[in-house]
Structure 1
Amino acid sequence: MNRRTLVKQLFIIAGGIALLPSCLREQGGASIVLKNIKLSATDEDFLAKLAEILIPKTDSPSGLELNLHLFVMKMVDDCESPENQQVFVKGMQALKDNSESQTPEELLTSITTLEGQKEGDEVAFFKIFKNRAIQGYLNSEYVMKNKLIYKLIPGPYQAAVKLKA
């Protein structure tokens, strides 16, 4: 076998190996890899709808455009305790089941009533979701570059400054 054919076949095999994991991924699953919680594509769509309702599009991008739902999913998967992860999933399922036929405006009113309540899986879910979504928004590239203009280096040093007493 000549060398050129061997190199060509090695590249074809390497491409197939790189493509294989995406083909083996279960259909209907979340678009990002989650290790501790199991979410479906419909769950991800519901979280995207909630992110859009929580941070709507104004002069700044919406929660959906900033992919806050993916940030929340990853943070809950990596940073929350197993108990909070279970509460998150149960509360999300309960809220999703209750709001399947609701319009975004009706979902917004049900969310505002949730904020007034003290207990329940839905309340705990929304509290976790809201805190993580706000964290994701404040740490997003858009906010850091356009809203909170961060100066990496301190301003110039002024040694002799006259103070008015």
Structure 2
Amino acid sequence: MNRRKAIFRISVAGAAIIGAAGGYKWFSMRKTPNLDLLSENINLLSALAETIIPKTDTPGAAEAGVGKYIYVMIRDCTEKTEQNNFIDGLLDLQAYTFGKYAKGYEKCDADQQEQVLEHFESAGNRLSSGIIGKVKHKYLGRSFFSILKSYTVEGYFTSEAGATKALAYSHVPGSYHGCVTLAPGQKAWATN
């Protein structure tokens, strides 16, 4: 066989493999998400949120009801691509936790839970900066950990416990001061 034919056949086979992989990824992102899986795992969502914002002298994310908030936001306010990214990430997290610790995420201790989330944070941050990151974000959506973290913080600080106990709540704020230095230990402000 001559060299040109061999190179042509190898390049055609490579293009076919890349096309098939891209088609599978496109199909997996556009499929109807299994939202029942989320409703069955609200306790897992609460445990994940509690790892991100744990209970200290202020209430934690689980106490503020962030797990249910994440479920509602994913179900009602998130695009199909990101719903699939989140559900696939949740399944990957469960498989990773069972594979590494032989138990579910909720049954792991605090250090193990942090290690699991650090793994998924670093996996989500790969190729997330620059032009490649912008293209990835636009066409493939945010990563599992990015979605989890943003909904956790948003849900916590918009809850009553987060706004009144974690922030210095002022029902009727005073005048606007654009640049105010905070005293050591002073909380940020939340307004109605």
The TM-score normalised by the length of structure 1 is 0.62
For structure 2, the residue ranges without an aligned partner over 5 or more in a row are: 1-32, 128-139, 176-192
TM-aligned CA deviation for residue 152 of structure 1: 2.6
Does structure 1 conserve the Cα–Cα contact (< 8 Å) formed by 2:86 and 2:147? yes
Q: Deviations over 1:66-112 (max 9, x none)?
A: 11111011011111101111111111011112113352321211211
- Relative contact order, CA 8 A, sep 6+: which one is greater? 2
Correspondence for 1:108? 114
Does structure 1 conserve the Cα–Cα contact (< 8 Å) formed by 2:39 and 2:71? no
For structure 1, the residue ranges without an aligned partner over 5 or more in a row are: 1-34, 156-165
TM-aligned CA deviation for residue 48 of structure 1: 1.7
Q: How does 1:23-34 map to 2 (within 5 A)?
A: none
TM-aligned CA deviation for residue 125 of structure 1: 1.3
Q: Residues 87 and 150 (structure 1 numbering): CA distance in 2 closer, same or farther, change over 3 Å?
A: same
Correspondence for 1:82? 80
Provide the rounded CA distance (Å) in 2 between the counterparts of 1:71 and 1:61: 16
SS of alignment partner, residue 170 of structure 2 = coil
Q: Which has the higher helix share?
A: 2
The TM-score normalised by the length of structure 2 is 0.54
Correspondence for 1:161? none
Paired residues in the alignment total: 120
TM-aligned CA deviation for residue 42 of structure 1: 5.0
Bigger radius of gyration = 1
Does structure 1 conserve the Cα–Cα contact (< 8 Å) formed by 2:59 and 2:162? no
Correspondence for 2:189? none
Does structure 1 conserve the Cα–Cα contact (< 8 Å) formed by 2:85 and 2:144? yes
Does structure 1 conserve the Cα–Cα contact (< 8 Å) formed by 2:38 and 2:87? no
**2:66 aligned partner, one-letter code:** L
Correspondence for 1:49? 47
1:138 aligned onto 2:157? yes
Does structure 2 conserve the Cα–Cα contact (< 8 Å) formed by 1:53 and 1:108? yes
SS of alignment partner, residue 51 of structure 1 = helix
Bigger shift: residues 125-134 or 100-109 = 100-109
Does structure 2 conserve the Cα–Cα contact (< 8 Å) formed by 1:52 and 1:64? yes
TM-aligned CA deviation for residue 150 of structure 1: 2.5
Does structure 2 conserve the Cα–Cα contact (< 8 Å) formed by 1:138 and 1:144? yes
**1:86 aligned partner, one-letter code:** N
